[in-house]
Amino acid sequence: MSTNPERHVDVSALQDLKEIMESEFETLIDTFIADSTNKLEELAAAIAASDADALRKVAHSLKGSSSNICAGELSELARQLEFMGKEGTTSGAAAILQQLRGEFITVAAILQKNI
């Protein structure tokens, strides 16, 4: 994990979100982590099946939820997969998914520290 969490999560914006959501913040983070774990598996299945449309749909969802919890790099990687799906291809998607998995592990650890 990078020594600078800001590279992965906008911690200041995350703290603002925590103040706004109060007691619901922990539920938001827990739900994000659980849902994202499922989405990573769905992305892997879409890539394995060469299903560009499924890749686009799942990546779009992950892009939005990552942005909502202030994880810019995670959102960007999901955007790249979404674009590939829009272009009708899954070629090269496995490499981006591998980067996305690594980034998710880092982001999840940062989020759990900030609950």
The domain that holds 108 is classified in CATH as 1.20.120.160
Host domain of residue 98: 5-113
The mean pLDDT value for 64-70 works out to 96
Q: How confident is the model at residue 3 (pLDDT cuts 50, 70, 90)?
A: low
The mean pLDDT value for 57-85 works out to 97
CA angle 89, 94, 97 (to 5 degrees): 110
Whether the per-residue pLDDT at 1 is higher than 80: the answer is: no
Q: Locate 53 and state its tokens.
A: 């449309």
> Which pLDDT tens digit goes with each residue over 26-43?
999 999 999 999 999 999
Q: How far apart are CA 58 and CA 43, in angstroms?
A: 6
Q: How confident is the model at residue 4 (pLDDT cuts 50, 70, 90)?
A: confident
- Pure H helices in 1-71: 11-21, 25-48, 52-68
Look up the pTM and report it: 0.94
Structural domains in the chain (count): 1
Across all residues in the chain, what is the average pLDDT?
Answer: 95
